[in-house]
Amino acid sequence: MSRYTGWFVLDAQSRNLLPTLTETLRGCDLNVVYRSEDYLMATEIPGSVPLSRFNRLVTAEILVERYPNQQVRLQVVTKNEELSLHRDNHCQQVFEKISAAISNNQNWELLDLIAS
C-alpha cells in the first residue's frame, strides 16, 4: 500500500477554506465524497487509470486544524492499494499534484510545508 503525507501551514480566511480546498481537489481530478468542518475525503475519478489497475485509484484525506490568528494547518494524506515498488508511482504523482495545487493557491499564503 502506498501512502504519502504532508503538512501545510497556511495564512488563510477560515470561512473560504473548505470551498477553496474542494475546488483545489477537483482541479487535481479528485471528487470530494465527504466534507465536515475539519475533514475532507476525496477519491480519484474512475477512468483516470485503466480498469486493470483499479488498485491505483488514490484516496486523499485532508485534516484541518484552525488557529485563532487565521493560521490553518492541513495534514494531507494520499493512499492507494498499489505496492510502492518505485519511488515515482501513481500515488506519489497525485500527492505531488495536490501539494503543488495547495502550495501555489492564490487564496492563501503558504507559511510552511513538510512532506514525507
The domain spans of the chain are 2-115
CATH class as words, domain 2-115:
alpha beta
At 84 the three-state DSSP class reads coil
Task: State pLDDT tens for residues 39-85.
Answer: 999 998 877 665 556 667 899 999 999 988 889 999 999 999 877 66
d(CA 18, CA 35) in angstroms, rounded, equals 8
The model carries a pTM of 0.88
With b for 16 or more beta-carbon neighbours within 10 A and e for fewer, the 57-69 pattern comes to bbbbebebeeeee
